[in-house]
Amino acid sequence: MSRANGRLHLWAFLQGIGFFPGGWRHAAATPEAVFDRAYYERIGRMVEKARFDAIVFGDQLQGRDAAGRTPGRLAIPTLDPFTLLSAMAGVTEHVGLVATVSTTYNEPAEVAAKFATLDYVSQGRAGWNIVTTAHPNSPLNFGETELLEKSQRYKRAAAFVEAAEVFWGSACGKKIDRAALKSDWFEIDDTLDFVAPPQGRPVLVQAGQSGDGRDFAARTAEAIFCPAPTMEAGKAYRDDMRARASALGRDPDGIKIMPGLALVIGGTEAEAKARHAEVLELADDVLAVEYLSESIGYDLTQHPIDKPFPIEEIVARCEFPAEGVRAQLMPAVEAGTAIKDFCQAYARKPRGHGIFVGTPEQMADHMETWIDAGACDGFTLQPGFMPFELEVFCDEVVPLLQQRDLLRTDYQGPMLRDHLGLGPLA
Amino acid sequence: MLLSLTIDLAPDEIGAEGFRHFSDRLRAIDAIAPDLVIFGGERDTALIPGRLEGLVNLPWAAGLVTSAAVVAVLPALHGIPFHVARALSAIDFVSAGRAGWAPVCANHEVIDRAYGQQYAISDAEAPAKHDDFLRATQALWDSWDQDALIIDKASGEYLDSAKVRRVDYRGPYFSTMGSLNAARPPQGYPLLVRDMNDLSADSELPADVVLLGAETITEAEDAIVRLRAAPGTANAAILLKVTAGRSLDLPFEVEGADGMHLIGHPDAATVAAARARLPARTQPGDTARARFGMAPPINPFTQKALV
């Protein structure tokens, strides 16, 4: 079965309108469509036909505003992930549906009920990308003033997942482990009567990077979404996670490592490079300044953007931790770089993920090389902008991957666990 | 007269075959074209959250129930306004303005135990928390103006920054800053349904649809007079609860009722019998609020209600 399932796993990470902040402006982008059901239905069917394991939606628990000013040139964040995946469930039969949900500002009972419901309406295709929340504005949306310190966030996450497991077990008729409902974080007395998830529980996905994050992922995750800017970085990460899993007595093949990969594909290399350049150009100066403003929690648009950063004013008032912001901006301050120039460079390579620019053949080569090197088990694709780049990938790269026996030509079972080659739950 | 009903997942509708049965049941109901379908459970005659989580079920169900307004029953004392506001915004978009919510207190003792001891609350205190939950959630929808989005590729203007704001809502139980990371729902606020068999019955907040349980004509008419006199429900659509298997006559005999809400697990034949007596008066494509004659809500930040 593992052979028929392919050596290469594909996930589609659909962040709003796509990977590049200016991508929504491209002539082939459809930014209004992200508000329509038909768009999600079409994307779901397309990804299923291309035999992806799953669709993943990211999440944030705050608006995009920096100090209260919402950017005027950046697209709205992804709509609620559960909603989009639930709508897609109705028009697909195989593709997995992975929602990113934070353990920091939620309750286990509610999250367990939501995933049981998503697993039911999709008949066994739900996955949970378990994240913790570190954005300084998020606590203020949930009646808190301070973020949880990082190791505390991961402790809460572990207790949260343990409690959620009890809810799912109970829904499936297992005896309730009441001790697991009590922790430093939760004082839960009983489970809820909700529908049994067909998979027993959602597939557990993680995105841990730090020591705490990797440790949590090694214990919990069945798939990991991570940045891997180079093949060497990918291999080092995968080797580390497999070693951690083995040390914990887990089968390392039970964790699929799925680095993010943004893509711009063209009929020729020159065409791909031209479109990459075109999409970067669409991020004009003000857009780029808004993009950095969001990531430091300070509205830079109030300053002349062709002048250097007023660093002391920024670190005195930014919503992100001042020392981190100072460290990020100091090289530009010392070099006297104009705000807009620094922001342009920042907006060109978002979020530390690899970016592939080339032909379908080159992309298939790239993927095969990484798989052969043991640098990953597949890729979490981040189309440059939607839906165009994803359509090109499905039409032109997927057949090549199938010809090379890397990607399955048919699903080997109905559930997300089947696509990942995970056996049934114990 | 409007036709509404409650649907919950039956205990035996599990497994692949049970799932097909549930899906077929929704299609059969859709073919009858009721005006409102509420997804939730029942305890006695009161709405309670159902065996499918309301917000996650609704987008899928809206693909099968294609013309009616679709409503999720939510635990008002346990929900988190930011998550609820965000999900209902998305649901309202993907259902083309057919979404509604029914936040209830009923069954809270059971849900309290599953959420944890800090959620324990007395029946006396519950209505205040219910109202605070509603206000906080609606405040987050008000963090966006209806016409905030521009989406002009040529100029690069995506939205008008002056039309999105932090609301900094601070209530006795819930505080939330905003802005919401989701646009104002197409309806402004999704359709709000209140159950008069719930602890929240005495709320003075406006409701768009009221479900009223009554045994006799007099009881129902007295209740309707009281609802019409209260500012929050003066314009609400008042639907009389009728239990499946009993006479459908009551809503036709009561002065001032706007329609019928079927409870007690009505099957398709029961819904069809009710529809036969209540000719459809709305059109597919109507938003939920339009179907129930509700004006778009006014955003307190702009004093405008755009659609």
Q: Which of A26, A64, A73 sits opposite B181 (nearest CB)?
A: A64
What pLDDT band is residue B206 in, cutting at 50, 70 and 90? very high
A26 lies in some domain = yes
Chain A residue with CA closest to B9: the answer is A195
Q: Are residues A224 and A92 in the same domain?
A: yes
Alpha helix positions (H), A193-321: 211-220, 231-247, 269-282, 285-296, 311-317
A426 lies in some domain = no
Query: Domain with A253 in it: what CATH number?
Result: 3.20.20.30
How far, CA to CA in Å, does A311 sit from each of A138, A288, A305, A345, A426? 24, 18, 13, 18, 55
**Cβ pair A114:B53 closer than 8 A:** yes
User: What pLDDT was estimated at residue B219?
Assistant: 97
**Burial class for B110, CB neighbours closer than 10 Å (0-12, 13-18, 19+):** middle
- Binding region of A: 59, 100, 154, 210
- Surface of B (160-189) touching A: CB under 8 A: 160-161, 164-166, 174-183
Q: Which of B95, B149, B156 sits opposite A73 (nearest CB)?
A: B156
**Cβ pair A140:B177 closer than 8 A:** yes
Report chain A residues whose CB lies below 8 A from the CB of B56: 82-83, 86, 113-114, 117-118, 121
Calpha distance B39→B52 (Å, rounded): 8
B307 pLDDT more than 60:
no
**Cβ pair A63:B180 closer than 8 A:** yes
Tokens linked to B166: 């932090």
User: What pLDDT was estimated at residue B306?
Assistant: 67
Tell me the domain boundaries of chain B.
2-143+180-291
- Surface of A (187-216) touching B: CB under 8 A: 187-196, 198
A82 lies in some domain = yes
Q: Is A38 on the interface with B (CB under 8 A)?
A: no
B165 pLDDT more than 90:
yes
Instruction: Taking residues A238-252, report their average pLDDT.
Output: 96
Q: Are residues A135 and A284 in the same domain?
A: no
Q: Are residues A42 and A75 in the same domain?
A: yes
How far, CA to CA in Å, does A254 sit from each of A241, A245, A346, A371, B76? 11, 9, 36, 16, 39
Instruction: Taking residues A63-89, report their average pLDDT.
Output: 95
Give how far A154 is from chain B: nearest CA, Å. Answer: 20
Calpha distance A301→A328 (Å, rounded): 18
Give how far B294 is from chain A: nearest CA, Å. Answer: 23
A2 lies in some domain = no
**Cβ pair A140:B60 closer than 8 A:** no
Report chain A residues whose CB lies below 8 A from the CB of B113: 188-190
- Dihedral through CA A145, CA A146, CA A147, CA A151, nearest 10? -150
**Cβ pair A73:B96 closer than 8 A:** no
User: What pLDDT was estimated at residue A1?
Assistant: 41
How are beta strands A54-57 and B36-39 bridged, if at all?
unpaired
Q: Is A302 on the interface with B (CB under 8 A)?
A: no
Q: Are residues A301 and A369 in the same domain?
A: no
**What is the residue-averaged pLDDT of chain A?**
95
Calpha distance B224→B213 (Å, rounded): 11
A352 pLDDT more than 70:
no
Give how far A362 is from chain B: nearest CA, Å. Answer: 31
Q: Is A116 on the interface with B (CB under 8 A)?
A: yes
Residue type at position B216: T
Q: Could you give the ipTM of this predicted complex?
A: 0.98
A424 lies in some domain = no
Q: Are residues A384 and A245 in the same domain?
A: yes
Domain-terminating residue out of A348, A364, A380: A348
A52 pLDDT more than 70:
yes
Q: Are residues A316 and A253 in the same domain?
A: no
Pick from A48-62, B191-205, B272-286: least confident: B272-286
- Give the residue numbers spanning the domain of A381: 9-270+352-419
Nearest 5°: phi and psi at A256?
A: -95, 125
Higher model confidence: residue B278 or residue A259? A259
Give how far A365 is from chain B: nearest CA, Å. Answer: 34
Tokens linked to A18: 């796509």
Domain count for chain A:
2
Q: Are residues A319 and A247 in the same domain?
A: no
pLDDT tens digit string along B92-139?
999 999 999 999 999 999 999 999 999 999 999 999 999 999 999 999
B2-143+180-291 to CATH, choices 3.30.70.890, 3.40.50.150, 3.20.20.30, 3.40.1280.10: 3.20.20.30
pLDDT tens digit string along A288-302?
999 999 999 999 999
B283 pLDDT more than 80:
no
Q: Which of A72, A114, A192 sits opposite B159 (nearest CB)?
A: A72
Domain-terminating residue out of A348, A371, A405: A348
| Best-predicted range by mean pLDDT (A12-16, A77-81, B220-224) | B220-224
- Binding region of A for FMN: 59, 100, 154, 210
Calpha distance B236→B240 (Å, rounded): 13
Report chain A residues whose CB lies below 8 A from the CB of B86: 79-80
Instruction: Taking residues A160-173, report their average pLDDT.
Output: 97
Q: Which of B24, B43, B60, B146 to mutate to probe the A interface, most A CBs <10 Å?
A: B60
User: What pLDDT was estimated at residue B282?
Assistant: 64
Q: Is A374 on the interface with B (CB under 8 A)?
A: no
Contact assessment for residue A330 and residue A204, using Cβ atoms and an 8 Å cutoff = no
**How many percent of chain B have pLDDT more than 90?**
92
Q: Is A74 on the interface with B (CB under 8 A)?
A: yes
Domain-terminating residue out of A348, A374, A393: A348
Q: Is this model's pTM higher than 0.80 or not?
A: yes
Tokens linked to B219: 């009881």
**Cβ pair B83:A91 closer than 8 A:** no
Give how far B156 is from chain A: nearest CA, Å. Answer: 6
Closest to A12 in 3D by CA, of A291, A366, A387, A307? A387
Give how far A342 is from chain B: nearest CA, Å. Answer: 20
Q: Which of B55, B89, B116 sits opposite A187 (nearest CB)?
A: B116
Give how far A246 is from chain B: nearest CA, Å. Answer: 34
Calpha distance A148→A170 (Å, rounded): 30
Q: Is B90 on the interface with A (CB under 8 A)?
A: yes
